[in-house]
Amino acid sequence: MKSSEEFHFCQGVPPASFADHLQLTNRLNDQQYGQLLEVVFGFLNKPEGTDEFDKKVASYTSQNGMKLHRVQEMIKTILIIAKEARRYKLSPGQLFGDLQKMKMNGERASKLCQIWRKGEVVQFATDQVAGKRLVSMEWKFGVTASNSEMRRVGNCFIQIKMILSKGLSTESLSFEMTLHQFYDFMHEMEKAKLELESTSAAVM
């Protein structure tokens, strides 16, 4: 990795250890890698207590007969990169490019970016709605008819249009989600509603 190369996720050059830790994922089989990403993004998108997270990491390590410190290195590095990619609002293409520069396997990097993107869509929609009143919401289902990746043909997606108000102004927000993302988004909205109702009840 050339010292002159700049990376989008850190706006500079990351430590050499980042590339070393990412390249460890190239040695995992598909099932092990998929489980690793579930642990990482499960924590990133729905933060839980440290003890609970440590248990999941230990369970993954034990099930796959790995060394704990190696697993921790992979998880820590992916978490940092994913969090910084969110902070700098990277596109999946920019994130993929950064991972490739650090010699991460192309298929592995692509899968990481896909899962990261799914969480970002839900986070984006949730952030946009926060602190605003929902005036109306429309959605319609669609099915992917063609795609450069055949495995995505026939996948369901949902196009959403929301009218939000804050003070005297209103705004329109449109975006597209997969069915899974839509369920996650509605879960977050329901959770926010319950928290608001609980707070209001406590004040009265």
- Residues 14-41 have pLDDT tens digits of 999 999 999 999 999 999 999 999 999 8
Contact predicate 164/132, CB 8 Å: yes
pTM over 0.75: no
Question: HSE (CB half, 13 Å, CA atoms) of 142?
Answer: 14
pLDDT tens-digit map of 146-166? 554 444 445 777 888 878 887
Which residues of the chain form beta strands (DSSP E)?
133-143, 156-166, 169-178
CB 162 within 8 A of CB 137: yes
Would you state the pLDDT for residue 145?
61
